[in-house]
Chain A
Amino acid sequence: MSPTGRLLVAVAFATVLFVPGVLWLTGFQGEEIENRDLTQAPAFDSPADVFDTDTYEQASAYVVDQLPLRSALVEANAKLNLEVFDESPNPAVTLGADGWLFLTEALDNVCEPVVPPDEVAARMNRLAGIVAGSGRELVLTIAPDKNAIYPEHLGEGERSEPGGGDQRGEGERSEPGGGDQGGEGDAAEKGACADETRSELRERLDAVTPPGYVDAYAAMEGIADAADRPVYYPHDTHWTTRGLASFVEQIVEALQPGLWDPEALTIREEPHTGDLTRLLGMPSELETQRTFVDRPGVATPGLEGDERLRPPSTGEIVTQAPEGTPRLPGRTLVIFDSFFDNAIGMLAPYTTELTFVRWGQFDETRFAELVRDHDVIVIESAERNAYEKYGAELGSEAQARALLDVLGAAGS
């Protein structure tokens, strides 16, 4: 190497090595880009911590989290994968057509359900039978993943059939081996396989018709067909608040016909960062329309501001409303996941008292007690988790026993 070459190499390499540290010292610190708190520096509380490898794992994670420019590097790597290699930077996200993104898990979990569809339907029926049989109003529903409503945006790889969207509502969007027609390799099979499972579950649910079951698939297909814009976000796993509002309307109407007030809907332009773009490492913010329910004179203390979009895991609201405002009587319980985040804020103004509890916040006994203490029960699970939630958790034998024990003891 020539002396000039050595100098250039030394300066270039030293710059790469030292610049992040210098930036960090001058205040450019890491950003939270992974949907979790940044790792704290290890504490070294006792001498033993010095020789504990956990301490250094934490230290490594701390250094990585604090690295200035890391988010820019992550984003650049994601763009390179996407734009040069046309591949998803994160296998958790499946690239669809027209820039649409899908959660891979949503395909996988439905393709290979932990509990078979016929068993899920039977267990939902048993659960609904016990709850409805106790005299309570019940809504039981599955929030469709967006590939169920917009299969045409899945792209060649995942589509079970070209133009599958045309057959919406027929409950038979795929055929075994459909991958041969529109897709290629494993991804196509997965798409076809998810369609197949979904069709089977819908058929079984049609056949057994659990009390209180609201077919959100049919509802969302109808809403999507009528809507002038997509009712799911292209860059997010969830439905839009517009789509959700229409579905909440159907729930409210199912519980008390005529209660829903279309005039109470207000729409505001708000930025929205798609969770799937965040998963890719290239978060993008879109101006989107947010739908809210603002009934005149009705207040929902404890669920205001941002909490109407992202409620906490559990909460209880006693709605304040002028005398004579029609509302669901008694106490309403909502078991929900992220698909229903916005729904809590939409439902609350129509209830007298609302308790909301996120999945994972209760065991069999607690669920039975929650049901015992409420008059209206709304249970929602995203499609990708429904086989586990309805099949293995709420649909379990142990849960049925707990419900029968507790509801029986309550004299219901």
Chain B
Amino acid sequence: MVFSSLEFLFAFLPVTLGAYWLAPRRARNTVLLVASLAFYTWGGGAFVFALLGVIAANFVLGFAVARRGDRSGERRRQWGVAAAVLVNMGLLAYFKYANFFVGQVDGLRGALDLGSTDWAAVTLPIGISFFTFQAMSYTVDVARGTRVPLRNPIDFALYVALFPQLIAGPIVRFHEISDQLGNRRAGMDAFAEGAVRFTHGLVKKIVVADAVAVVADAAFATPPGELNAVTAWLGVTAYTLQIYFDFSGYSDMAIGLGRMFGFRFPENFARPYSAVSVTDFWRRWHMTLSNWFRDYLFIPLGGSRDGAGRTYRNLWIVFLLTGLWHGAAWTFVAWGAYHGALLVAERFMEQRPTGSTNLVPLRRAATLLAVMVGWVLFRAETLTGALGYLRAMVAPGSLEIVPRVAEVLDVRVTLVLALASLVVLLPRHLVLGPTLERARGAAPAVARLAVLGLALPYALLLMAGGSFSPFLYFRF
């Protein structure tokens, strides 16, 4: 069940909100936990037991790694953290990467005429990349002593399983939310702020991302031999917009939902396509993932403390793993390596964001171009497909959009694509989500009115229209 579905909006959410508001304050976390587990089971079925296993293991390990001031503590903490890594990352590795690994082994065996491995493909539990990372964050934060372990299993389970961020983030590090688990206010003010933020995200997803997705899908489904530069650029532009509006829209919805229940989740996007460097891009794109990797991988690896060479190595490792985190395929590894290389190059040239404004438009354009090239690696099904697509982007050829793509470019899609493209021109510091959520003044009020009064009804029409799938002849 996704947030942009009719069943979520008109059944799950009202029922959960109603139960939450009617429950006594001390029972509210229990209500939210039950709702969260139901939400997970709705989409993940029996994989809810994997989620419960992660919760149980990390809850216990939290006590094992907690600082108690005894001399044997360090060794216990190390073992505890190692066990948490084994449980969380082992589970993630098995479910997410086992098929990929077996595929590579089979490729080798095939090359050596050794046949294939007898292997039943593993199904990926939804949200596992997110809930294992959150659970890991808890154990490490407790081991570092920045937070004490939670004594209430309901509160801990809620931290890991809280439905607004369970499936697709933001990845909330434990120290960012621990204080809110037992003490938060969820009144009308929070509901109103959350409603605006949620609606903003819903509109981004339904009105923009879903519209431009058809262009990206058609372009990337075109065989490289038929693709020309105009179509390839149109496709990657559409995908650049799709992935931003889709993912940031989902994050807005998650943040808005969290707000309705009194939580303040960290921001996940801050106008990434206005970045002036790739380093800046990663401070604005999927910020909660970048923060997680920084806190729990880059810094433990040594960060930038041990000289340039080690820093470059650490950056590369982090971005290779960031790529792999997004999916078990060489395209994601290549995407991570590509971004790692760009970051290393920027460090090498000390090309960091400066206050200088005269080159800002040029730097923004160059960064966007680099990011768009990266999206080709990210979106393509295979590395060969990605290379074919990249070749088409630079090959001279016809200026006509290929029929497969032209077919989906109707008036609405063209209009949305054109308007959404303007996002790259917006000021770097104007982040609409939080502005809409909280800002006072006439302009934010008008924007809120537009979102709630015009864009939301239109999004609902599109959702209803999307659910409509009639048969020509009656089906019993």
Closest approach, in angstroms, between the C-beta of B437 and any C-beta of chain A? Answer: 8
Closest approach, in angstroms, between the C-beta of A351 and any C-beta of chain B? Answer: 25
Query: Nearest 6 pairs between A and B by C-beta?
Result: A73-B464, A77-B465, A13-B195, A6-B192, A53-B45, A36-B475
Q: Are B461 and A77 in contact (CB under 8 A)?
A: yes
Q: Mark B22-63, 1 if CB is under 8 A from A, else 0.
A: 000000000000000000011111101100000000000000
The 8 Å CB contact of B475, one of A35, A51, A64, A281, is A35
Q: A17-B17, A60-B7, A81-B412 are in contact. Are A186 and B467 (CB under 8 A)?
A: no
- Cα-based distance from A18 to B11 in the complex (angstroms): 9
Interface: B438 (CB within 8 A): yes
- Cα-based distance from A103 to B473 in the complex (angstroms): 12
Q: Are A13 and B192 in contact (CB under 8 A)?
A: yes
Interface: A264 (CB within 8 A): no
The 8 Å CB contact of A34, one of B407, B452, B468, is B468
Q: Are A74 and B464 in contact (CB under 8 A)?
A: yes
- Cα-based distance from A63 to B14 in the complex (angstroms): 13
Q: A56-B43, A70-B464, A85-B410 are in contact. Are A64 and B472 (CB under 8 A)?
A: no
Q: Are A279 and B472 in contact (CB under 8 A)?
A: yes
Chain A: residues with CB nearer than 8 A to chain B?
Answer: 1-3, 5-7, 9-10, 12-14, 16-18, 20-21, 33-37, 50-53, 56, 59-60, 63-64, 67, 70, 73-74, 76-78, 80-81, 85-87, 89-90, 92, 103, 185-186, 237, 275, 278-279, 281, 338
Contact partners of B191 in chain A: CB under 8 A: 10, 13-14
Q: Are B448 and A86 in contact (CB under 8 A)?
A: no
- Cα-based distance from A36 to B439 in the complex (angstroms): 48
Closest approach, in angstroms, between the C-beta of A104 and any C-beta of chain B? Answer: 11
Contact partners of B406 in chain A: CB under 8 A: 185-186
The 8 Å CB contact of A67, one of B10, B407, B473, is B10
Q: A35-B470, A56-B1, A85-B411 are in contact. Are A9 and B11 (CB under 8 A)?
A: no
Interface: B456 (CB within 8 A): yes
Chain B: residues with CB nearer than 8 A to chain A?
Answer: 1, 5-7, 9-11, 13-15, 17-18, 41-46, 48-49, 188-189, 191-193, 195-196, 199, 403, 406-407, 410-412, 437-440, 444-445, 448, 452-453, 456, 460-465, 467-476
Q: A17-B17, A51-B46, A338-B473 are in contact. Are A33 and B407 (CB under 8 A)?
A: no
- Cα-based distance from A89 to B445 in the complex (angstroms): 33
Contact partners of B462 in chain A: CB under 8 A: 77
Contact partners of A33 in chain B: CB under 8 A: 468, 470
Q: A16-B456, A77-B464, A92-B472 are in contact. Are A63 and B192 (CB under 8 A)?
A: no
Q: Are A59 and B7 in contact (CB under 8 A)?
A: yes
Q: Are A6 and B193 in contact (CB under 8 A)?
A: yes
Q: Are B472 and A103 in contact (CB under 8 A)?
A: yes
